[in-house]
Amino acid sequence: MTQTSENATWLTQEAYNKLKDELDYLTGRARTEISAKIAAAREEGDLRENGGYHAAKEEQGKQELRVRQLTQLLESAKVGEAPAADGSVAPGMVVTIAFDGDEDDTLAFLLASREYASADIETYSPQSPLGAGVTGHRIGETVEYELPNGKTASVKILKAEPYKG
């Protein structure tokens, strides 16, 4: 799905299209709708005590922030293929690990940027301590990574499969 280098984010064509559709909606119909809400609330009178007006302005601010985020992401995106299922951990894969070699204490997560976060599977960024620790390693390897508190932890990579979203 995604692989971040210094300046680029790698996206599959499907992921790029999904984000582009969201941007098109936010800069088109969503902007028109929020402008209408603001105009309607403005007609209600005193803006200092108009909850609908303030809520609509806050919603507009959130939409515009998302527009800026999407624009920046898509401008730096490189469109490519999903990672190959060759046993190596890369962004865009569902990775299953065992903590401290205990194969009963496992975690499966999507290694991807937060644009892919969903309720279906936990998502870790390739820049997170765990994500950076497993990226580039292979199934069967035990790797150590540094925790935010400065200590180290080890995990064994059990599976690495392309995310089918």
Mean pLDDT of 124-150: 91
Each residue's pLDDT tens digit, 17-47? 888 999 999 999 999 999 999 998 888 877 7
Among 6-20, 70-84, 101-115, 135-149, the range scoring the smallest mean pLDDT is 6-20
What is the reported pTM?
0.57
Q: Tell me the pLDDT of the chain averaged across its residues.
A: 83
Domains parsed from the chain with CATH numbers? 9-80 (1.10.287.180), 93-162 (3.10.50.30)
Element (H, E) at 12: strand 9-12
Question: 155 in helix, strand or coil?
Answer: strand
For 107, phi and psi rounded to 5 degrees? Answer: -145, 130
Instruction: Write out the DSSP string of 79-110.
Output: EEPPPP-SSB--TTEEEEEEETT-TTSEEEEE
